Amino acid sequence: MSDPAPAPAPTGSAATALTLALGGGGARGLAHIGVIEVLQARGLQVAAVAGTSSGALVGGAFAAGKLDVLRDWMLTTPRNRMLRLLDPGLGRPAMFTGTRLMRALREAIGEPRIEDLPIDFTAVAVDLHRQREVWLRRGDLWDALRASFAIPGIFTPLMMGEMALVDGGLLSPLPITATRLTGRHRVVAVDLNGSPPTRWDTPVRDVEARHPEPEPGLLGRWMERHVGPSGAQHTHHLSLVEVMARALDTMQERITHVQLALDPPDLLIQIPRDACQFYEFWRAAELIDIGRREAEKALAAAGF
């Protein structure tokens, strides 16, 4: 028996239709805006989007036809106002509830339902109870986005029935698999965990374990500020947020590496992991420019 004939290649507009897989990475996700602007400038048609965390935020706004509104909102929201939108989650299992931020975004962009969007859209979250991915493809867009970027410990989980939904980056920092629901399009993946120039992959094999010097207390910190440090020199102190962010980045980079090996996209665009701290959304203009630059570079290298 002869082998079946290969399926014909898509022709016409279907041949250039793209599905975007937009990864998570906090404020680095604003680079997705620049990437999408470059794709549009080149006349490339986007038929579907799957997004994780900040990739879901940008992808959802784009699928709703409101990418320019989100971009302008980010560019005109200064640091102080951005911080005021983070309402404390007192007595709750995270630092912030996200309610005030969601209200501001709803007012700026509107309240569409996912199934009514002009572009097919999937937001990826994780159900903490069952430790599984959840692909949100129907219902209120902002509920889906709020679930997808609920970084554990930073934003409270979004409860949907019996599911406690948190940031999709825990299991799918680059949602390539979720794009496979959307038909036979060329997949362009934007990875926000690209290796910085000074990455070290070789394990440190021989380190003496020593109890560190105790961190200075309130009085000690005051003394260091006003009199100068005494005893051991503390060159860098990591805050709680920095520890959580770096731990999440480390985990997501390794998962992404495996995802790319198992299910490579047609085109990969990588944003350096050290482009910014995950909370620096007020650096929107700089991050959008990074997205444009990296997109142009990847597209030129791939001959798009």
**Three-state helix/strand/coil letters over 76-145:** HCCHHHHHHCCCECCCCCEEECCHHHHHHHHHHHCCCEHHHCCCEEEEEEEECCCCEEEEECCCEHHHHH
The reply to whether 53 belongs to the active site is: yes
> Residue 111 to residues 28, 108, 124, 143: CA-CA distances in angstroms?
24, 9, 19, 10
- Indicate which residue of 120, 143, 167, 249 is catalytic: 167
User: From its phi and psi, is residue 131 left (phi > 0), alpha (psi between -120 and 50) or beta?
Assistant: left
C-alpha Rg value of the chain to the nearest Å: 21
Instruction: Please tell me the distance from the alpha carbon of residue 244 to that of residue 95, in angstroms, as a whole number.
Output: 12
Residues forming the active site: 53, 167
